[in-house]
Structure 1
Amino acid sequence: MLQTLAWGSLFFPGLFAFSVWALRRLRPEWTFLDCVIIGTRLVSSVQAVLATGSGIIIICSCRNVVSDRSSGENLGTSLLAAFSQQN
């Protein structure tokens, strides 16, 4: 889980910086603020697509999304199980 957080912490700011840099080079007539706004919207769109995809994967892998957990599971054991599955 921490590895995913680390990659996300690098990927999204990197995507933003790259998009602003690329827009400044491709459209020199645009102001810096225009490039920042477009870069922000691009990163938001990518985050929305990835969140939707992960939601679809979760819904498709569970029979009943609300009650598909075991009865003895709580948040601590759930996080422990998720962490141990990744390693």
Structure 2
Amino acid sequence: MLLTLAWGSLFFPGLFALCTWGLRRARPEWTDTDRVTISTRLVSSVQAVLATGSGIVIIRSCKDVITDRGLEKTLGTFSSAASSWRN
């Protein structure tokens, strides 16, 4: 989980910097505001596509999205302890 967080912390700012740099070279007449706006929208679009893809993977891997929990099978004692703690 931490490795995924680390890669995301490097990937998205890196994509933003790369897009801004590429736009500065490709369109020197554009203002910084224009380049930042386009770069932000591109990074947001990539993030939305990746989030949608991960949601589809999760939905396809579950029989019943509401009640099917993968951690419950491996951490049965933890989930039963957590449910008794809430009550």
TM-score higher than 0.5 here? yes
- Larger RCO (alpha carbons 8 Å, 6+ apart): 1
Displacement of 1:45 after TM fit? 0.1
The structure with the largest alpha-carbon Rg is 2
TM-score by length of 2: 0.80
Measure, in 1, the Cα distance between the counterparts of 2:42 and 2:49: 11
2:3 is paired with a residue whose SS is helix
Displacement of 1:10 after TM fit? 0.2
In the alignment, is residue 38 of structure 1 matched against residue 51 of structure 2?
A: no
Letter paired with 1:30: W
TM-score by length of 1: 0.80
Alignment-derived partner of residue 2 in structure 1? 2
Mapping of residues 47-86 of structure 1, within 5 Å = 47-69=47-69, 70=72, 72=76, 74=79
Count of aligned residue pairs for this structure pair: 75
Displacement of 1:30 after TM fit? 0.5
The unaligned stretches of length 5 or more in structure 2 are 83-87
Measure, in 1, the Cα distance between the counterparts of 2:21 and 2:3: 27
* Runs of 4 or more above 6 Å deviation: none
The unaligned stretches of length 5 or more in structure 1 are 78-87
1:33 is paired with a residue whose SS is helix
Measure, in 2, the Cα distance between the counterparts of 1:24 and 1:41: 16
Measure, in 2, the Cα distance between the counterparts of 1:18 and 1:64: 41
Measure, in 2, the Cα distance between the counterparts of 1:32 and 1:67: 48
